[in-house]
Amino acid sequence: MHIPVLQKEVIDYLSPKPNENFIDGTIGGGGHALEILERISPKGRLLGIDLDKEIIYRLKSEIRNPKFENRLILVNDSYANLKEIVIKEKFSAVAGILLDLGFSSWHLEESGRGFSFQKQEPLDMRYNSENQLTAEKIVNFWSAPELEKILTEYGQERFAKEISREIISSRQAGPIENTFQLAGIIKKATPIWYQRQRINPATKTFQALRIAVNDELNSLKKALPEALEILKKGGRLVVISFHSLEDAIIKSFLKERAKENLINILTKKPVVASFQEIKINPRSRSAKLRAAIKL
């Protein structure tokens, strides 16, 4: 089951009121969206966007509540195309936008696309099945410097050079096709003490590959100014990130716009999950929420 991260905090900062319009740019399992829909009834509408067509298909079949009829608009696209989607859907007077940058439990546990190193699955890692780039293509065809660059930049992996070398060496014997193969290569490339750390040694490499496959950081950089433009005066932007690269982009963007007197930042420091929430949902451990209001 998908447990929405920082649910109470999202609602507090978005502050949805009856009959207002909202956008969930990464609707995923729909946890945040359904709570917002409840609060903006009877006439408030929500535009839900997701890059994964299977997620949109599942939501359409699962959400059959008559009180949401004509109030929930679902679109299969990237939140990077926010402005274009809003124009196409004629969706106006937007009181709040939420971007939850984490991938859903479904992707990890049920998609079969190799997001987890704990299951033997093909090295896919795409949200959008029409994307030509997969994790398998990266590990089998990219050069050592290219691999090292994404592992260092996107994964902040201290053993990026060693892992890249081991990938190059291993693929000479045959293609690297699944998650277990890759996890084994990472294990071989890293020291024993590193493998005994709290975080699995494969975590950062898998993260780097997922970011590279889905071009996640560039999508975020494109979406933030579009989100601000779309919001009406007094509208609120809430963004939840899950690693320091995303958080740095969001923090920098909000600071710059605050200097230009375009927004008021509502979160002096990023809001993090409580101990109780982390206990129930360990994935919320790395979540950071930042929020702003448009002036």
How much is the average pLDDT of 154-159?
95
Could you tell me which residues come within 8 angstroms of residue 263 by beta carbon, excluding any fewer than 6 positions away?
228, 237, 254, 257, 292, 293, 294, 295
In angstroms, the CA 268 to CA 245 distance is: 18
In angstroms, the CA 251 to CA 268 distance is: 10
How high is the pLDDT of residue 2? 61
Residue 174's Cβ-count burial label (10 Å; 0-12, 13-18, 19+) is exposed
Q: Which residue has the higher pLDDT, 167 or 285?
A: 167
Task: Give kind and range of the element (H or E) at residue 217.
Answer: helix 216-230
pLDDT band with cut points at 50, 70 and 90 for residue 14: very high
Residue 114 near residue 135, CB atoms below 8 Å: yes
Sign of the C-alpha dihedral computed for residues 52, 106, 160 and 123 taken in this order: negative
pLDDT tops 80 at residue 243: yes
Q: CA-based diameter of the chain, in Å?
A: 62
pLDDT tops 90 at residue 272: yes
How high is the pLDDT of residue 144? 96
Q: To the nearest whole percent, how much of the chain has pLDDT over 70? A: 99
Beta strands, E only, the chain? 21-24, 46-50, 72-76, 94-100, 231-241, 263-265, 271-272, 288-294
Residue 71 near residue 46, CB atoms below 8 Å: yes
How high is the pLDDT of residue 254? 98
Could you tell me which residues come within 8 angstroms of residue 229 by beta carbon, excluding any fewer than 6 positions away?
83
Summarised one tens digit per residue, pLDDT across range 206-222 is: 999 999 999 999 999 99
pLDDT band with cut points at 50, 70 and 90 for residue 1: very low
pLDDT tops 50 at residue 295: yes
* C-alpha dist (Å) from residue 247 to 115, 158, 229, 241: 21, 20, 20, 6
Query: What values do phi and psi take at 33, rounded to 5?
Result: -60, -45
pLDDT band with cut points at 50, 70 and 90 for residue 65: confident
Q: Which has the closest alpha carbon to 101: 53, 41, 51?
A: 51
Written as six digits, the tokens of 215 are 């071009």
In angstroms, the CA 6 to CA 31 distance is: 11
Domains of the chain, residue spans: 7-106+216-294, 111-214
Q: Which residue has the higher pLDDT, 47 or 60?
A: 47
How much is the average pLDDT of 239-244?
94
Residue 135's Cβ-count burial label (10 Å; 0-12, 13-18, 19+) is buried
Distance, CA of 127 to chain centre? 10
Q: To the nearest whole percent, how much of the chain has pLDDT over 90? A: 84
Could you tell me which residues come within 8 angstroms of residue 190 by beta carbon, excluding any fewer than 6 positions away?
159, 162, 163, 201
Q: Which CATH number fits domain 111-214: 3.30.565.10, 1.10.150.170, 2.60.260.20, 2.20.25.90?
A: 1.10.150.170
Q: Which has the closest alpha carbon to 53: 104, 129, 132?
A: 129
Average pLDDT, the chain: 94
- Topology annotation, domain 7-106+216-294: Rossmann fold (3.40.50)
Radius of gyration of the chain (CA): 20
